[in-house]
């Protein structure tokens, strides 16, 4: 099976950025963990700080044979109608992941436009959330 793992703005600095909130693992560490946890799965890892690049990625995935998407839209969760429309238009199962618990943080993080059109949301379980999301998409959770 093929799973795409998309990460939004500032997550390129994961591991260095506010480690007390987001932990010390980098996106590369997460990618290696996923590859070893799910050796038979083909992964497409993509990170961008640009909203439009993430929208473009969804339209590319919509035309591909990808089976599901793990998406951490980061700050765009709280602002982006364009990404919300990209998710609903792609017709793919999307599981939204937040490393931190967005509900225990500032009020402006409590609402997610993208979560409303996602199959499910994992929030506050640290970087393990990515692995749980892949297992859910593969039906092995
Ligand atoms: C985040 C939570 C968002 O509110 C924040 O803007 C991020 C990361 C998380 O993974 O906890 O950049 O999506």
Distance from Cα 68 to the centre of ligand 1, integer Å: 21
Backbone phi and psi for residue 106, each to the nearest 5 degrees, phi listed first: -60, 150
Residue range 3-38, pLDDT digits in tens: 999 999 999 999 999 999 999 999 999 999 999 999
Whether the pTM exceeds 0.90: the reply is yes
Residue range 30-88, pLDDT digits in tens: 999 999 999 999 999 999 999 999 999 999 999 999 999 999 999 999 999 999 999 99
Q: Is the pLDDT of residue 94 over 90?
A: yes
Q: Band of the pLDDT at 141, cuts 50, 70, 90?
A: confident
What ipTM does the predicted assembly reach? 0.99
- 131: number of Cβ within 10 Å: 19
- Give the mutation target among 54, 100, 122, 125 for probing the ligand 1 site: most ligand atoms within 8 A of CB: 100
**Separation between Cα atoms, residue 43 and residue 82, nearest integer Å:** 24
* 6 half-sphere exposure, CB direction, 13 A CA radius: 31
The answer to whether 78 is annotated as binding is yes
Closest atom of ligand 1 relative to the 105 alpha carbon: 4
Q: Which domains does the chain have, with CATH numbers?
A: 2-138 (3.40.50.9100)
Ligand 1 lined by 102 (C-beta under 6 Å): yes
Distance from Cα 55 to the centre of ligand 1, integer Å: 18
Residue 67 is classified by DSSP as: -
Both tokens assigned to 122: 């994992």
The answer to whether 77 is annotated as binding is no
∠ CA 59-83-35, rounded to 5°: 65
């Amino acid at each position: 099976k093929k799973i795409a793992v998309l990460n939004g703005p500032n997550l390129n600095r994961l591991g260095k950025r506010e480690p007390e909130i987001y932990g010390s693992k980098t996106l590369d560490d997460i990618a290696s963990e996923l590859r070893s946890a799910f050796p038979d799965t083909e992964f497409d890892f993509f990170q961008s700080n640009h909203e439009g690049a993430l929208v473009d990625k969804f339209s590319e995935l919509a035309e591909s044979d990808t089976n599901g998407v793990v998406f951490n839209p980061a700050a765009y969760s709280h602002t982006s109608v364009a990404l919300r429309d990209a998710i609903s238009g792609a017709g793919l199962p999307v599981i939204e992941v937040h490393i931190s618990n967005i509900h225990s943080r500032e009020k402006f993080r409590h609402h997610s436009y993208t979560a409303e059109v996602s199959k499910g949301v994992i929030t506050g379980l640290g970087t393990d959330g990515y692995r749980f999301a892949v297992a859910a998409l593969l039906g092995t959770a």
